[in-house]
Amino acid sequence: MRAEVAIIGAGPAGISAARAAARKAQVLVLDDNLRPGGQIWRRNPLLTALPENVTLKTRVRVLGPWQEHSLLLETPDGPTILDYDRLILATGARELFLPFKDWTLANVIGAGALQALIKEGWNIRGKRIVIAGTGPLLLAVAALARKQGGKVLRILEQAPANRVLAFACQTALYPSKSAQAISLGFGAFQNYRTSSFIVEAIGQDRLSAVTYQDGDKRYHVDCDIAAVGYGLIPNNELAGLLGCRTREGYVVVDNDQRSTVANLFAAGEITGIGGVEKSTIEGEIAGLRSTGQCADHCSRQRDRSWQFAKILEKNFRLSPALKNLATDDTILCRCEDVSFGEVKQFHDWRLAKLQCRIGMGPCQGRVCGPAFSFLRGTGSSNVEPVPVRPPVFATHLQNLTPKQKL
């Protein structure tokens, strides 16, 4: 089956692109999750509703390019090939994890992961929770956790107070963002700490407490869950395999959301981290322009979303102090059980991988790769993309020899 417009990713950017493109073409949307919506619109049928001429297929993974204008897919029914005329990548982003002592204990999870688990029904009522990392996501996760009966003891923001205050003041230029920040911050003010981060997880089989740095002092707090996330990393592996040019880890696009590859568009977090408004407007532009429709009315909103993205990047850049959290015996690669001490002599990801097997497990370096880049990089926020080869995801050998087309 040939799709006029194929969209990879059913988050805000992908959904928005599908709605726009469906005005002129038959659209196919693929996503590897059970439900559409991505992280933000998960379990929200109103926000993820699609027109009749859009076909949505979930639990589908794109393993990589096949031939020109075709992709190799892993589906519940086996491997298949999809041919397309135009392709829109809206593959989103994942959390950046920075290792600290005993971060591999059970119930030390990502901040976004806690958000997703709560939305999927995890009962956290009465659980004592510490949320740490950076960015507005911490406040959103804390608000959701409190709403579901969790006891949020601390919100630890690694950025200093002056930059958090500057961000709060700058959001006044964006009324919707300002209102959202006020509502999220109101319930968090008492337990919110700046220039703070977890330095150690404590427990036997699972987490029982954390030690955190607050300025130049350290504190101990008993807790059941630690949710930690130091920003987002774009899921640009497929874009790289398809030949898209990237800059500082993000897919390069023009004003029409076109990549450097013909008939290939990109939208959302893979072009720059900026939140749901940026993702939806870029998705709309990609959907419109991929089908020859005018998108001039979107330019102003897209420009404002990019201005907000720059404000986020500037005020929540990572502190160099976070480079000191990992010691020689701290596990860096959980898949292959590689410690930081085994790879700290390397400044090159490929050499470290060849010598120590870091990044050769099921996640293929998605977790340890960006962490290695930050820890061994020269800048405070130097997180470079990890080179990738097909398949994009670990899969069974038989999935590399498809016998049918979708």
**Alpha-carbon span 32 to 15, nearest angstrom:** 14
Q: Where in the chain is the domain with CATH 3.50.50.60?
A: 2-94+233-312, 99-229
CB atoms inside a 10 Å sphere around CB 199: 16
Q: Is the pLDDT of residue 333 over 80?
A: yes
- How many angstroms separate the Cα of 36 from the Cα of each of 9, 14, 139, 310? 8, 9, 24, 28
Q: Are 50 and 26 contacting, i.e. CB atoms less than 8 angstroms apart?
A: no
Q: Compute the distance between CA of residue 294 and CA of residue 260 in angstroms, rounded to an integer.
A: 20
Give the pLDDT confidence score for residue 377 in this predicted structure. Answer: 74
**Looking at the domain that runs over 2-94+233-312, which CATH code has it been given?**
3.50.50.60
pLDDT at 169: 84
Average pLDDT over residues 263-290: 96
pLDDT, tens only, 157-199:
999 999 999 988 887 777 666 556 656 555 666 899 999 999 9
Q: Per residue, what are the HEC states of 93-127?
A: EEECCCCCECCCCECEECHHHHHHHHHCCCCCCCC
- Does residue 343 surpass a pLDDT of 70? yes
**CATH number assigned to the domain with residue range 99-229, chosen from the 4 options 3.40.50.740, 3.50.50.60, 3.40.30.10, 3.90.930.12:** 3.50.50.60
Q: In whole angstroms, give the CA distance from residue 123 to residue 101.
A: 27
Q: Name which of 109, 114, 120 is nearest 142 in CA terms.
A: 114
How many percent of the chain have pLDDT more than 70? Answer: 92
Residue that has been written with the tokens 């950076």 in this structure: 134
Q: Degrees (nearest 5) of the Cα angle 161, 165, 170?
A: 150
Q: Give the C-alpha separation, 337 to 372, whole Å.
A: 14
pLDDT tens digits along 285-332: 999 999 999 999 999 999 999 998 999 999 999 999 999 999 999 999
Write out pLDDT tens, residues 92-124: 999 999 999 999 999 999 999 999 999 889 999
pTM: 0.91
- State the DSSP string of 331-347: EEETTTTEEHHHHTT-S
Average pLDDT of the chain? 90
Predicted confidence at residue 379, as pLDDT, reads 44
Residue 129's pLDDT band (cuts 50, 70, 90)? very high
CA distance 100 to 325: 5
Where do runs of H (alpha helix) occur along 273-331?
276-290, 299-315
Q: Which residues, 6 or more positions from 377, have their beta carbon under 8 angstroms from its beta carbon?
A: 383, 384
